[in-house]
Amino acid sequence: MDKGDYKIIFTGPVGSGKTTAISSISDSAPIATDMKASDMTKSRKSQTTVAMDYGVLKVGGGEQIHLYGTPGQERFDFMWDILTTGGIGLVLLIDNTREKPMNDLKFFLNSFKEFIMNTAVVIGVTQMDKMNKPTIYDYRDELKEMSLNPPIFEVDARRKEDVSLLVQSLLFSLDPSINEV
Ligand SMILES: Nc1nc2c(ncn2[C@@H]2O[C@H](COP(=O)(O)OP(=O)(O)OP(=O)(O)O)[C@@H](O)[C@H]2O)c(=O)[nH]1
Ligand SMILES: [Mg+2]
């Protein structure tokens, strides 16, 4: 990584859209390590990330933001620490169609607690077109209970503008003088 480059990590449960989000926003061909999800009885998709996703976002001044996505499956959680090293912030994607998305929220915020304490987090709730509850307000209430107040948005990981909004708000919460991605 060159001087002036940054690293952001995308995480969240299986199917929340990490691989999709990185491929939506990456300026270079993204790298994915998806394999056939033959052992995942609960999954509604055929591929799952087993190591990481990687993409690059070019920003003003020739700087680049390196985007890393974690595997969603807990059995690959040894990758989570490796991938957060050197990162400046976390994008947490939550899939609203999963059985207990509020539990996913708590689980991931807790798993990345130390990293978040030292950096920043922004939350994107995906698949709200399929399932509109819990609402963003419900999430905010839950976050308040946890004494947290991170930016949280309804997003579609397939839409570049939505993913860009997440990255911009993360950068803004780290440094309000940054205003262009
Ligand atoms: N309807 C709908 N589909 C979405 C939305 N966001 C993402 N998707 C779809 O949901 C799926 C997400 O799959 P992935 O991007 O592989 O999810 P992942 O988080 O990388 O999953 P793992 O690697 O298995 O942890 C893709 O088929 C996307 O096209 C959304 O907001 N609405
Ligand atoms: Mg993936």
Q: Please give the distance, rounded to the nearest whole angstrom, from the Cα atom of residue 43 to the centre of ligand 1.
A: 11
- Measured from the CB, is residue 156 less than 6 Å from ligand 1? yes
- At CA 59, angle to CA 54 and CA 64, rounded to 5? 40
Q: Exposed (0-12), middle (13-18) or buried (19+): which is 107, by Cβ within 10 Å?
A: middle
- Average pLDDT, integer, range 83-99: 97
Q: What is the pLDDT of residues 123-152, one digit of tens each?
A: 999 999 999 999 999 999 999 999 999 999
Stated as kind and residue range, the H or E segment containing 23 is: helix 18-25
**CA 164/CA 144 separation, integer angstroms:** 25
* Confidence bin at 4 (pLDDT 50/70/90): low
Please say if the pLDDT value at position 107 is more than 70.
yes
- The alpha carbon of 154 and the centre of ligand 2 are apart by a number of angstroms equal to 19
pLDDT surpassing 70 at residue 180: no
| pTM for this entry | 0.94
Q: How high does pLDDT run on average in the chain?
A: 92
